[in-house]
Amino acid sequence: MKLANMSLTDYIKKAEDTSSVPGGGSIAALCGALAASLAAMVLNLSKAEDKAAAYGKFSEILQKNIDDDSTSFDEVLKAFRMAKTTEEEKKIRALAIEEGYKRAIDVPLSTMEAALGVVETLKAQEEFIGDEALSDLYMAADLALTAFNGAKDTAMLNVAALKDEATKSVYREKIQAMTEVMVEVHGDVRAFHRA
């Protein structure tokens, strides 16, 4: 059964077990999906239903990542089990491990991008947001930040495992740039209607 299709109670119970599925990356994606839903609710409550649809694309990505994150490390594990007797086998194995880590980075990066998209969209829609849903607005922004940070931690663990320094550098720079934007935009959203 897909994690995203489990009941909330079953998902919470599953998170307690020792399988580490769902792990932090999957739970980060869930937080992001909840942020997107709450952001849409804020717009609906503010009578800006036409603007609420903007969060659907983020929700779709984040819901997919609830499951994708739990399988994103599989290629790394499979690569570590590959033969390593000959020099050729060692090269093939090393390349497979590196490619596996890239997959294990790309899924949480996708979660980060979608979580950032939720907060950026909230900021862009400030004029449509009424005071009646401010606590929900702030919660949506905070959940998106939690999703972003959880996915960032997952991605950075896997970036550290890469052997190619140039690839590591590209990922680190991208993550740093996204983090700077998230911190700024999240702060802007948290300041809405607080004059």
All structural domains of the chain, each given as residue ranges with its CATH number in brackets, are: 21-190 (1.20.120.680)
Residue 101 tokens, joined: 């880590």
C-alpha–C-alpha distance, residues 23 and 4, integer Å: 13
Give the predicted TM-score (pTM) of the model.
0.90
What digits encode the pLDDT tens for the residues 21-41?
777 889 999 999 999 999 999
What digits encode the pLDDT tens for the residues 49-97?
898 999 999 999 999 999 898 888 888 889 999 999 999 999 999 999 9
User: Which of 110, 115, 112, 140 lies closest to 40 in space, CA to CA?
Assistant: 140
